[in-house]
Chains A and B, each alone.
Chain A
């Protein structure tokens, strides 16, 4: 084979692999991404029940109830709207009333959110960014509320 032919083989294979990768990425982006919504978003947008998504906000004080079989229910609020969440399992260590929370799951009919994952945070001084944004949007967040000089690591 000449240099030119060899180069063509190389370029052809590369383009082939890249095309496959692009197809995989586009397909996966259509099917497997999860949108994040604040409780107000959930109320305002008409989201079809059964759609997978993440919601975030604060655990509404006084809303936490524990049932049998590790059933937990609580309300997530952004200060303007609440949404009730039910979850079965063990909640993270730093899950508390009045604290930020991110839950992933499906919206059921009757505006109850069935969570299959309740996300932990690692640090009691850290607020998930999505929660901060959700609170900012509803006007419940004052800049400087959390000290920004905190540091972290992984």
Chain B
């Protein structure tokens, strides 16, 4: 009964979606307010019905209803409750349902909170949103229905892939999807603007919070995925330049560019056409990401079994929306009015440079990801493009971008002064150079580039703080003035500083880990000791433990630093009888922001084990930096000027504090 209810709710959501796809457009054409207003209600109801469908599917998993195919294939009655819930989206069908749930959620948000949008714009936005939703409802109902029943219900399910039985599955996909799907709002706004043939600074004000929210989730989602892969795959790598990872990185790069160009458009009414294009591209890349992950056309370390037939359907969706979006852009964009003027050396110029590097970097990732596919289609030759390619192309483009980053926020609008800005960055330069020298002195070994990487990271971090420090008068004014100014400073300024600071932090982590990480692979008998990076690990012995749906062999290690015990590490091998599968659970020990990483290899009969031991200096900074970026996004989002929504364009200039 419950699966049928869910299925039915999804069909109803499709029906509502079809109405919402057509009615508001007619309403906007004929200036019919009730027809246009319909869209808000249908958007809310779509969310309710998809929500019902999603809850129904959760109910099937929680009650272990194995008459439902996807539950049978991906769940087991002995799984802990949390994995019963997360396994809803631990498979193709369920994750697509999560995808449309989030799409409907964003649609409902526009419906509910878009009150001060012009009614025709809102009608078009919600209609476009519904076109996307309908395409995916049809995709789910026709090719990946999660509610299909088996004729005879088996007694037991086939269990969730053990590697997914992890808390990471509870957090990573929802965050990533919030980011991917959030890009659809900017896309819908862009298409609506192109249909209306009208776009102004106010448009950017409406789009920016949505983009910011999507970007924030995407940042957090990518970071979470990276950390999950780091501890779950057992290789200790944080980024593999794998197609699936690149698929999430590309929308992030385009989204970051969009975020910055929208600022120019909002403040200076320039870069309008470019911003529109970026809005279309960011969502297109999200769709391509979904396609790459879902169709299995690319071999990836993260790939699970999947079905190419579905790929064709998603490919069709891709062609319609990306092709349609770009065609509409090519046709309508030249009709839009030109934006304002600015000198090349200015805040606008700096943001253009940012966009140029971000989109070019995005392009190189795109080429590296899709080149193997194109080559195989054309010549049949199979190749893999791995980390070396991206290190040679992506990194050289990102270094100048990072170097320029502290300059941007310090530049004046319209006409800037590089020398003046450089002067204000003296402290940042100085600290950066000291960092380079100190790194050379302390750690002579390793790559010669590393000290410069550290110096750049320090420059970025200090440089990011410079603007805020100057504006609140820190170190110059009495504390009371500083406090008053700090509370008066717009949150978006704090957000920018924090996010840019986060970039430096991440860079610091990446440079440190890639240069100074050390690794040992050894076979150990009980009571033998292995030492690495000043730590000594003694293998105490193997023990057997029983989990809810697995048995595990746990190796216990006592960790000593300079002879003093600092803790115990217990890597394990889990054996899942339901799938006859073993997974490796690495043990992590955090020391400050560095980590010891211990992963178990084969265990042999005489009680000896082979282990992989890594020391990862400052590895946590990689993800802490990403968290800072996401929090910076959140701070900007909470800025009053954005939260209140867009007042009428005419009232805008007077309300803006000088920047």
Contacts and interface: CB of A to CB of B under 8 A. Distances in A.
Contacts of A1: 343-344
A70 B612 CA distance: 11
A17 B392 contact: no
A93 B582 contact: yes
B303 A152 contact: yes
A25 B367 contact: yes
Interface residues of A, number: 56
Interface string B90-105: 1111110000000000
A86 interface: no
Contact of B397 (A21, A29, A153): A21
A43 interface: no
Given A35-B382, A130-B382, A154-B244, A125 B521 contact: no
A73 B472 CA distance: 65
A152 B91 contact: yes
B481 interface: no
Interface in B566-585: 573, 579-584
B392 A31 contact: yes
A36 B380 CA distance: 11
A65 interface: no
A33 B74 contact: no
B383 A6 contact: no
A86 B303 CA distance: 25
Nearest to A68: B523
Interface in B326-370: 341-344, 352-353, 356-357, 360-361, 363-364, 367-368
B483 to A, nearest CB: 42
B293 interface: yes
B384 A33 contact: yes
A153 B90 contact: yes
A148 interface: yes
Interface string B379-407: 00111111011001100110000000000
B364 A24 contact: yes
A150 B305 contact: yes
Interface stretch (B251-259, B294-302, B619-627): B294-302
Interface string B116-138: 00000000000000000000000
Interface in B384-433: 384-386, 388-389, 392-393, 396-397
A107 B274 CA distance: 49
Given A17-B360, A25-B364, A126-B303, A33 B383 contact: yes
Contacts of B459: none
A122 B302 contact: yes
Interface of B: 70, 73-74, 89-95, 144, 161, 163-164, 173, 225, 233, 244, 293, 296, 299-309, 341-344, 352-353, 356-357, 360-361, 363-364, 367-368, 371-372, 381-386, 388-389, 392-393, 396-397, 521-523, 573, 579-584, 599, 601-602, 610, 612
Given A21-B360, A31-B388, A90-B601, 14 more contacts: A6-B342, A21-B393, A69-B523, A122-B301, A122-B302, A123-B305, A125-B305, A151-B74, A151-B304, A152-B296, A152-B305, A152-B306, A153-B304, A154-B302
Q: Which 8 A-B pairs have the closest CB atoms?
A: A152-B304, A90-B601, A32-B388, A150-B305, A36-B382, A151-B92, A28-B392, A126-B305
Interface of A: 1, 3, 6, 9-10, 13-14, 17-18, 20-21, 24-25, 27-29, 31-37, 54, 66, 68-70, 88-91, 93-94, 102, 104, 119-126, 128-130, 133, 146, 148-154
15 contacts: A1-B343, A1-B344, A3-B341, A6-B344, A17-B356, A24-B364, A28-B393, A66-B602, A89-B521, A148-B308, A151-B70, A151-B73, A151-B92, A152-B296, A153-B173
